[in-house]
C-alpha cells in the first residue's frame, strides 16, 4: 500500500486524482539535496508574508503566528531535529507542511498566496548562492594573503623559471608565488562581480506572469538584502545564468588551482627537491616506506575535472529548454552545490598546503645554470649598441661553443674565445654571469627584481 502524499496535499495538487508511480516520486523529489537551502527558504517566506500583510491579505496576528512557526522550523533544521515525511517533495513543501502542523493550515495555507514555487525556488537559489559565494570570497581572500605573506618573507630566494618545462631564466621564488596570487586575485574580483549579478530578486513574479495582487517587489528585495529586482517576470523565474556563472567561475578557479598544484607536485619530486610538503598534506605508500606522496595536490588537480564536468553537464541540461520554467532546471542544484563545496574545500586545502610546506632554497639556487644567462649575454651586447637580433645569434654561438668544448657553462669561455666569436666582447662580459644581478636587472613593472616583486605584492594586497 502506497504511503505517498495524496495529490490534493501537494503544492501542485487538485486536478491530479490518481496515485503517482513511487519511482516517479523519487525521481521528482529534490529534498535530499535542496534541504541545504532551508534557511533561505524560511527567510524568503518570512519576508514574503510581510509583503502579504502590507497588502491586507493576512492580518498582523496571522503574520506574527507565521513568523513564530518559521522560527521554530528554522531551529529544527539547525539542530538536526526536523522530521521529514512522505510527500516532502522539496524544501518548500517540507517547510510549508511543517508550518501547517505548528500553526494550523488555516493560517499556513495563506503563505503561498500569489507565490509560485517557480519564483520561490529562484529566490531561494539566489539567496543561497549569494551567501555561499560570499563565504568563498572570504576564504579566497585569506588564501591569497597567505601567498603574499610567504612571498614577502622569502623574497630573496632564487630559482629557475621554466617554459616548456625547460629551464629558461632565473626568477625569484616570490615571483612564482606572485604569479599565482595574481591569478587568484583576478578570480576574487570576478567572484565579486558574480555576487553582484546574482543579488537581484525574482520574488513576486509568480509562476511566470507576475503577481496578481500587486505586491511591492522592491520592498521584498530590500528586506531580503537584494540590490534590486529582475524587471521581467518571465526572466525572473527562468533565469539560471547566475548558476552557470557560478559554475564557470568554479571551473576557472579550479583550472588555476590545478596548475598551481601541478607546479608544486613537480617541485616536490626527488628530481627537483625544491619543496617538501607537510605530513598533514601527504600520504605514504602501502608498499614502499620511503615514499611521501603529494596526495593533497593530486586531489586538487583531480577534482578540477569534477567541477568542469558539472558545468558541462548543466549546460547540456539547459541548452534547449523552452521558456519559461521547466523541470529540467531542477538539475541546477546538485552540480552547483557539489561545485561550490568542492571549491570551498579546495581553497582551504590549498591554504593549508602553502602555509605549511618547506622550501629548500639551496636546491632551488643549485638548479640555476649558466646557460640560463644566455639572454643576459645577448642583452650585454645590446647595451653596447648591437641590434638584438644580431646579439641573439651571437649568444647562441657562445652556447654552442661551450657545448663543443664540453665546458660546464658559457661563463667558462675565455676572453680569447669570446673575442673570436665577436670582437665587441670586452673584459666586463664576465660580470654578466651573476644570477642575482640577472633578476635585479628586470626592474620594469611585473619583473623579477626585488623592487618589482615587492611592488606586485603591494598592489595585490591593495585589491582587498
148 and 71, same structural domain?
no
Is residue 165 in some structural domain?
A: yes
381 and 356 fall within a common domain: no
Based on the domain organization, do 328 and 214 belong to the same domain? yes
Question: 320, 341, 366: which is the final residue of a domain?
Answer: 366
Assess whether 357 and 376 both reside in one domain: no
pLDDT for residue 376: 93
- Taking residues 210-230, report their average pLDDT: 97
Mean pLDDT of 255-267: 98
CA 82 – CA 444 distance, rounded (Å): 61
Q: How confident is the model at residue 268 (pLDDT cuts 50, 70, 90)?
A: very high
Q: What is the pLDDT of residues 395-438, one digit of tens each?
A: 999 999 999 999 999 999 999 999 999 999 999 999 999 999 99
Are residues 378 and 351 part of one domain? no
Q: Flag whether 5 is in a domain.
A: no
Number of separate domains in the chain: 3
Does residue 167 share a domain with residue 89? no
Q: Based on the domain organization, do 207 and 346 belong to the same domain?
A: yes
> For the whole model, what pTM was predicted?
0.90
- Tell me the mean pLDDT in the region 281-298: 76
308 within some domain: yes
Q: Do 124 and 99 reside in the same domain of the chain?
A: no
Q: Which of these three, 334, 366, 398, is where a domain ends?
A: 366
Is 129 found in the same domain as 247? yes
Single residue among 74, 108, 142 that ends a domain in this structure: 108
Mean pLDDT of the chain: 93
How would residue 239 be classed by pLDDT, with cut points 50, 70 and 90? very high
Q: How confident is the model at residue 292 (pLDDT cuts 50, 70, 90)?
A: confident
Q: Give the CATH number for residue 310.
A: 1.20.200.10
Report if residue 137 sits inside a domain.
yes
Range of the domain at 42: 19-108
Mean pLDDT of the 287-292 span: 63
Looking at the structure, tell me whether residues 286 and 339 fall in a common domain: yes
Per the model's pLDDT, the better-predicted residue between 290 and 48 turns out to be 48
Residue 10 lies in a domain: no
Give domain status of residue 257, yes or no. Answer: yes
- Are 296 and 185 part of one and the same domain? yes
Instruction: List, by residue number, the catalytic residues.
Output: 164, 285
Amino acid at each position: 500500500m502506497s504511503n505517498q502524499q495524496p495529490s490534493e496535499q501537494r503544492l501542485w495538487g487538485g486536478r491530479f486524482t490518481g496515485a503517482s508511480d513511487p519511482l516517479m516520486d523519487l525521481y521528482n523529489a529534490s529534498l535530499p539535496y535542496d534541504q541545504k537551502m532551508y534557511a533561505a527558504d524560511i527567510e524568503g517566506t518570512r519576508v514574503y508574508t510581510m509583503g502579504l500583510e502590507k497588502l491586507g491579505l493576512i492580518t498582523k496576528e496571522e503574520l506574527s503566528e507565521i513568523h513564530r512557526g518559521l522560527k521554530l522550523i528554522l531551529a529544527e533544521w539547525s539542530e538536526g531535529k526536523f522530521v521529514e515525511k512522505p510527500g516532502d517533495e522539496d524544501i518548500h513543501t517540507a517547510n510549508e507542511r511543517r508550518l501547517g502542523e505548528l500553526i494550523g493550515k488555516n493560517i499556513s495555507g495563506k503563505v503561498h498566496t500569489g507565490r509560485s514555487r517557480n519564483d520561490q525556488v529562484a529566490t531561494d537559489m539566489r539567496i543561497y548562492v549569494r551567501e555561499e559565494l560570499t563565504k568563498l570570497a572570504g576564504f579566497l581572500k585569506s588564501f591569497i594573503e597567505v601567498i603574499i605573506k610567504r612571498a614577502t618573507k622569502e623574497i630573496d630566494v632564487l630559482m629557475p623559471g621554466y617554459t616548456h618545462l625547460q629551464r629558461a631564466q632565473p626568477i625569484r621564488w616570490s615571483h612564482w608565488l606572485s604569479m599565482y596570487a595574481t591569478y587568484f586575485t583576478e578570480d576574487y574580483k570576478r567572484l565579486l562581480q558574480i555576487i553582484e549579478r546574482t543579488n537581484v530578486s525574482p520574488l513576486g513574479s509568480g509562476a511566470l506572469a507576475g503577481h496578481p495582487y500587486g505586491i511591492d517587489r522592491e520592498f521584498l528585495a530590500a528586506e531580503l538584502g537584494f540590490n534590486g529586482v529582475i524587471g521581467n517576470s518571465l526572466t525572473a523565474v527562468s533565469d539560471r545564468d547566475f548558476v552557470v556563472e557560478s559554475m564557470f567561475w568554479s571551473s576557472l578557479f579550479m583550472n588555476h588551482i590545478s596548475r598551481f598544484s601541478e607546479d608544486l607536485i613537480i617541485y616536490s619530486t626527488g628530481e627537483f627537491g625544491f619543496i617538501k610538503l607537510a605530513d598533514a598534506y601527504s600520504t605514504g605508500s602501502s608498499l614502499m616506506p620511503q615514499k611521501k606522496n603529494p596526495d593533497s595536490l593530486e586531489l586538487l588537480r583531480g577534482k578540477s575535472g569534477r567541477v568542469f564536468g558539472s558545468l558541462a553537464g548543466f549546460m547540456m541540461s539547459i541548452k534547449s529548454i523552452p521558456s519559461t520554467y521547466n523541470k529540467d532546471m531542477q538539475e541546477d542544484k546538485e552540480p552547483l552545490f557539489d561545485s561550490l563545496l568542492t571549491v570551498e574545500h579546495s581553497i582551504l586545502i590549498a591554504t593549508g598546503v602553502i602555509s605549511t610546506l618547506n622550501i629548500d632554497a639551496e636546491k632551488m639556487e643549485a638548479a640555476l645554470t649558466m646557460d640560463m644567462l644566455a639572454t643576459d649575454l645577448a642583452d650585454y651586447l645590446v647595451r653596447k649598441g648591437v641590434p638584438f637580433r644580431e646579439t641573439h645569434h651571437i649568444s647562441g654561438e657562445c652556447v654552442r661553443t661551450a657545448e663543443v668544448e664540453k665546458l660546464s657553462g658559457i661563463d667558462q669561455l675565455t676572453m680569447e674565445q669570446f673575442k673570436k666569436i665577436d670582437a665587441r666582447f670586452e673584459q666586463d662580459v664576465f660580470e654578466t654571469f651573476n644570477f642575482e644581478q640577472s633578476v635585479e636587472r628586470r626592474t620594469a613593472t611585473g619583473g623579477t627584481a626585488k623592487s618589482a616583486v615587492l611592488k606586485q605584492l603591494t598592489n595585490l594586497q591593495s585589491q582587498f
